[in-house]
Amino acid sequence: MELDMSSFGGAIASGRKVKSMSQKELATKIIKEDGQPITPQYLNDIEHDRRSPSSDHMIRQFAKALSIGENILFGLSGVLTQQDLKDVRRAKPEQVDQAFVAFRRALKKG
Protein backbone atom coordinates (compact mmCIF):
# COMPACT_ATOMS: atom_id res chain seq x y z
CA MET A 1 0.00 0.00 0.00
CA GLU A 2 1.29 3.42 -0.94
CA LEU A 3 1.17 6.49 1.30
CA ASP A 4 -1.93 8.60 0.58
CA MET A 5 -0.58 12.08 -0.12
CA SER A 6 -4.00 13.71 -0.65
CA SER A 7 -4.13 15.12 2.89
CA PHE A 8 -2.56 14.90 6.33
CA GLY A 9 -5.37 12.62 7.49
CA GLY A 10 -5.01 10.41 4.43
CA ALA A 11 -1.28 10.00 5.08
CA ILE A 12 -1.91 9.13 8.73
CA ALA A 13 -4.63 6.59 7.88
CA SER A 14 -2.61 4.90 5.14
CA GLY A 15 0.58 4.94 7.23
CA ARG A 16 -1.30 3.33 10.10
CA LYS A 17 -2.67 0.63 7.82
CA VAL A 18 0.79 -0.10 6.39
CA LYS A 19 1.96 -0.66 9.98
CA SER A 20 -1.12 -2.86 10.65
CA MET A 21 -2.10 -0.72 13.65
CA SER A 22 -5.56 -0.11 14.95
CA GLN A 23 -6.64 3.45 15.65
CA LYS A 24 -6.62 2.61 19.34
CA GLU A 25 -3.05 1.33 19.16
CA LEU A 26 -1.76 4.39 17.29
CA ALA A 27 -3.66 6.78 19.57
CA THR A 28 -1.79 5.42 22.60
CA LYS A 29 1.53 6.33 20.92
CA ILE A 30 0.63 9.99 20.31
CA ILE A 31 1.11 11.91 23.54
CA LYS A 32 -0.14 15.49 23.88
CA GLU A 33 1.86 18.19 25.64
CA ASP A 34 -0.11 17.52 28.84
CA GLY A 35 1.28 13.97 28.94
CA GLN A 36 -1.99 12.29 27.94
CA PRO A 37 -2.42 10.20 24.79
CA ILE A 38 -4.89 11.33 22.17
CA THR A 39 -8.17 9.47 22.01
CA PRO A 40 -9.08 7.06 19.21
CA GLN A 41 -11.95 9.44 18.35
CA TYR A 42 -9.52 12.36 17.97
CA LEU A 43 -7.36 10.16 15.72
CA ASN A 44 -10.43 9.20 13.69
CA ASP A 45 -11.25 12.88 13.25
CA ILE A 46 -7.67 13.56 12.08
CA GLU A 47 -7.79 10.66 9.61
CA HIS A 48 -11.04 12.01 8.16
CA ASP A 49 -9.65 15.57 7.98
CA ARG A 50 -12.16 16.88 10.52
CA ARG A 51 -9.38 17.96 12.90
CA SER A 52 -5.72 18.83 12.65
CA PRO A 53 -2.83 17.93 14.92
CA SER A 54 -2.52 20.64 17.54
CA SER A 55 1.25 21.08 17.53
CA ASP A 56 4.65 20.41 15.99
CA HIS A 57 5.11 17.97 18.87
CA MET A 58 2.19 15.81 17.71
CA ILE A 59 3.22 15.89 14.04
CA ARG A 60 6.68 14.65 15.01
CA GLN A 61 5.15 11.83 17.05
CA PHE A 62 2.99 10.74 14.11
CA ALA A 63 6.09 10.79 11.90
CA LYS A 64 8.04 8.63 14.34
CA ALA A 65 5.23 6.17 15.08
CA LEU A 66 4.44 5.67 11.39
CA SER A 67 7.96 5.99 9.94
CA ILE A 68 6.88 8.87 7.71
CA GLY A 69 9.25 11.77 7.13
CA GLU A 70 8.49 14.79 9.31
CA ASN A 71 8.78 17.13 6.35
CA ILE A 72 6.12 15.18 4.50
CA LEU A 73 3.68 15.49 7.39
CA PHE A 74 4.46 19.14 8.01
CA GLY A 75 3.88 19.82 4.31
CA LEU A 76 0.58 17.95 4.25
CA SER A 77 -0.59 19.66 7.43
CA GLY A 78 0.14 23.08 5.93
CA VAL A 79 2.16 24.01 9.00
CA LEU A 80 5.62 25.51 9.21
CA THR A 81 7.65 24.33 12.17
CA GLN A 82 8.54 26.83 14.87
CA GLN A 83 12.13 26.75 13.57
CA ASP A 84 10.94 27.41 10.01
CA LEU A 85 8.96 30.40 11.26
CA LYS A 86 12.00 31.76 13.09
CA ASP A 87 14.06 31.37 9.92
CA VAL A 88 11.40 33.17 7.85
CA ARG A 89 11.28 36.04 10.34
CA ARG A 90 15.08 36.45 10.21
CA ALA A 91 15.28 36.34 6.41
CA LYS A 92 14.91 39.15 3.94
CA PRO A 93 11.59 39.19 2.05
CA GLU A 94 13.40 38.37 -1.20
CA GLN A 95 14.97 35.26 0.37
CA VAL A 96 11.59 34.01 1.56
CA ASP A 97 10.08 34.58 -1.87
CA GLN A 98 12.97 32.79 -3.61
CA ALA A 99 12.76 29.86 -1.20
CA PHE A 100 9.05 29.32 -1.86
CA VAL A 101 9.52 29.67 -5.62
CA ALA A 102 12.27 27.02 -5.49
CA PHE A 103 10.08 24.80 -3.31
CA ARG A 104 7.16 24.95 -5.73
CA ARG A 105 9.42 24.41 -8.74
CA ALA A 106 10.97 21.31 -7.16
CA LEU A 107 7.55 19.79 -6.45
CA LYS A 108 6.33 20.41 -10.00
CA LYS A 109 9.36 18.59 -11.42
CA GLY A 110 8.62 15.47 -9.38
Please give, one letter per residue, the 3-state secondary structure of the chain: CCCCCCCHHHHHHHHHHHCCCCHHHHHHHCECCCCCECCHHHHHHHHCCCCCCCCHHHHHHHHHHHCCCHHHHHHHHCCCCHHHHHHHHHCCHHHHHHHHHHHHHHHHHC
Which architecture, in CATH terms, is 1-78?
A: Orthogonal Bundle (1.10)
Query: What confidence score (pLDDT) does residue 110 get?
Result: 65
In the chain, where the domains are located: 1-78, 80-110
Return per-residue pLDDT of the chain as tens, 110 residues: 799 999 999 999 999 999 999 999 999 999 999 999 999 999 999 999 999 988 899 999 999 999 999 999 999 998 888 889 899 999 999 999 999 999 899 989 86
User: Which residues does 91 contact at the CB level (< 8 Å), separation at least 6?
Assistant: 99
**pLDDT tens, 72-94?**
999 999 888 888 989 999 999 99
Single-letter amino acid code for the residue at 94: E
Query: pTM for the whole thing?
Result: 0.86
pLDDT score for 81:
86
